[in-house]
A and B are shown apart, each in its own frame.
Chain A
Amino acid sequence: GAVVSQHPSRVICKSGTSVKIECRSLDFQATTMFWYRQFPKQSLMLMATSNEGSKATYEQGVEKDKFLINHASLTLSTLTVTSAHPEDSSFYICSARVPGVRETQYFGPGTRLLVL
């Protein structure tokens, strides 16, 4: 299957700082990527849809000013958690849709964020 990478795999930061997470499609170009959040023992919740060259579309209840998304190229989307607080601690996962295979998304390995 297609390969999606994320960096970093885990990050620990102090409350009030900003953290950037990168999502890359390694062997294909992705015009659309998605960002999810997963709390322990829970399922994935879609946060936003990242579109190359345009603004991201956020799901209801997700603060766009807190979770900044930039999809600057066809292989890279970034999620920046601004002024992070302990309640932002979670597992953040991105996915990318493979062009021409409408129904299929491939997921990155996830980024574990811990805000102290």
Chain B
Amino acid sequence: TQLLEQSPQFLSIQEGENLTVYCNSSSVFSSLQWYRQEPGEGPVLLVTVVTGGEVKKLKRLTFQFGDARKDSSLHITAAQPGDTGLYLCAGDQGAQKLVFGQGTRLTINP
């Protein structure tokens, strides 16, 4: 049973479009992280959200933590080819153990 359901798992859109990636769970997390991973490399931390309802912005990326701390979303505005990559959400179950979603493989076409 996947604790964190991430969707969509694959997304291919044109440059300039907007997109949203979702991360959902029936469990409550003390925090949730979003990572981006390039092929053959480790995940790179984008943001950590801790408070229910929290919204954080990182340039064209907007991250939101659900009020109940069970879900999160990543919204990218005006996507660029440089945004192409694997995006992973990860929830902290406590004792600092992270459980990862399946990942969203994003392709931005020029």
Contacts and interface: CB of A to CB of B under 8 A. Distances in A.
B103 interface: yes
**Category for how many chain B residues contact A:** 20 to 34
Q: Is the interface of A mostly helix, strand, loop or mixed?
A: strand
A89 interface: no
Contact of B102 (A43, A97, A102): A43
A42 B99 CA distance: 13
Interface stretch (B13-21, B56-64, B71-79, B90-98): B90-98
Interface stretch (A13-21, A67-75, A80-88, A106-114): A106-114
Contacts of B28: none
Interface string B28-53: 00110101000011111100101000
Interface of A: 1, 4, 6, 32, 34, 42-46, 49, 91, 93, 95, 97, 102-110, 112
